[in-house]
Structure 1
């Protein structure tokens, strides 16, 4: 995958924390930040799926009434 440069400004305390955490994990600051963003994006995806599942549970009877048990996922 092609890489894109991203310039970010943070205060020195945050920069030092990033350097320390990356060093503790044996990786570059770049890799550390990349993994944090990927993890955060994954959590957002899980939150969406959980919310969608909750929505479907709440409105299951409406879907069943409108589309029938087979199309609404009921068995």
Structure 2
């Protein structure tokens, strides 16, 4: 994705806070500000929801097999421990 330069003027306290927060997170101030804007616009949350939906779609059968009986009010068969003969 192409990057566009954006110049922003903030007071010194805000600039200092941005630098400190970025440093604490191990990222540049540019990246920190970019992440804040993405969070504010919901882009990060939307990406997470899409990834979670994709994960659930891929593993739906596994979850249904593992937890389906409990969801329907039935008791699933107990699994035997591999340590107990």
Task: Using structure 1 for the length normalisation, give the TM-score.
Answer: 0.56
Aligned counterpart, 1:19 = 19
Offset, 1:38:
0.2
Partner SS for 1:6: coil
Unmatched tracts of structure 2, length 5 or more: 47-85
Q: Quote the Cα distance in structure 2 between the aligned partners of 1:25 and 1:33.
A: 12
Aligned counterpart, 2:37 = 37
Q: Which protein is richer in helix relative to its size? A: 1
Between 1 and 2, higher relative CO (CA 8 Å, sep ≥ 6) is seen in 1
Aligned residues: 45
Q: Quote the Cα distance in structure 1 between the aligned partners of 2:39 and 2:14.
A: 19
Aligned counterpart, 1:8 = 8
Aligned CA-pair RMSD: 1.8
Partner SS for 1:21: helix
Task: Using structure 2 for the length normalisation, give the TM-score.
Answer: 0.50
